[in-house]
Structure 1
Amino acid sequence: MTITSTVKNGILFVRLTGDLIGSSDTDQLLQSVNAHLGEELNHCAVDLSETRYINSTGIGVLVSLLTKFRSRGGEMVLINPADHPKKLLAITKLNNIFTVAADEVAARQQLTPAAI
């Protein structure tokens, strides 16, 4: 799994490439996000367009991140989940809990009103 993160206009954008399946992947993701939380960021967009596979551990960390941002008064959006993550979100009914955006522009539009 490769994780890249950038901050644009007060929103943390995280891109995941590969499989989000194990504790080393989820630990790395949590560490990456936690490193930015000191910057008083309350909004996050996680790009899943290049994430091939997510298991229950990966879903758990996404729920944890969502809870973390919402407890800070913010929000988290998933960007364009690939086929398997999209199906898993539907099967688990988490597509009703997560906000999903088609691309980075749509994610920014959904998070910007919350940031104002």
Structure 2
Amino acid sequence: MTITSSVQNGILYVRLTGDLIGSPDTDQLLQSVNNHLGESLNLCAVDLSEIRYINSAGIGVLVSLLTKFRSRGGEMVLINPAEHPKKMLALTKLNNIFTVAADEAAARQLLAPAAV
């Protein structure tokens, strides 16, 4: 899996490519986000549009990230989950827990009120 991240206007954007299926990928994702949390960020958008496959470990790390941001008074949004992640979120009923945005602009709008 490939992870790229950037911070724009107080929002951490994380783009994932490949399969999100456990260590070492999940550890790398958590470390990448933790590195940015030192910057006093509490808003995050995770782009899942290029994730081909996700398993329970991948779902678990997304829940961990959501918990991490919400416990800091922030929020996390998933951007355009690909077909398999979308099915897994529905199967686990986590689609009712996560906020999903169609694209980066929609994610920015959902997170912007929290940034003010």
TM-score normalized with structure 2 length: 0.99
1:9 matches 2:9: yes
The residue aligned with 2:61 is: 61
1:114 matches 2:107: no
Percent identical among aligned pairs is: 86
The residue aligned with 2:85 is: 85
- For 1:97, the aligned partner's letter is I
- For 2:57, the aligned partner's letter is T
Alignment of 1:40-51 (within 5 A): 40-51=40-51
**The residue matched to 2:41 in structure 1 has which SS?**
coil
> Partners in 1 of 2:115 and 2:96 — Cα distance?
22
Residues 24-77 of structure 1 show CA distances to partners (whole Å, capped at 9, x for unaligned) of 000000000000000000000000000000000000000000000000000000
- For 1:52, the aligned partner's letter is R
1:96 matches 2:85: no
**The residue matched to 1:4 in structure 2 has which SS?**
strand
- For 2:24, the aligned partner's letter is S
Quote the RMSD (CA, aligned, Å). 0.4
The residue aligned with 1:37 is: 37
> Partners in 2 of 1:92 and 1:56 — Cα distance?
9
Structure 1 gaps of 5+ residues are none
Number of aligned residues = 116
TM-score normalized with structure 1 length: 0.99
Structure 2 gaps of 5+ residues are none
Runs of 4+ that moved beyond 2 A:
none
Alpha-carbon distance, 1:99 to partner: 0.1
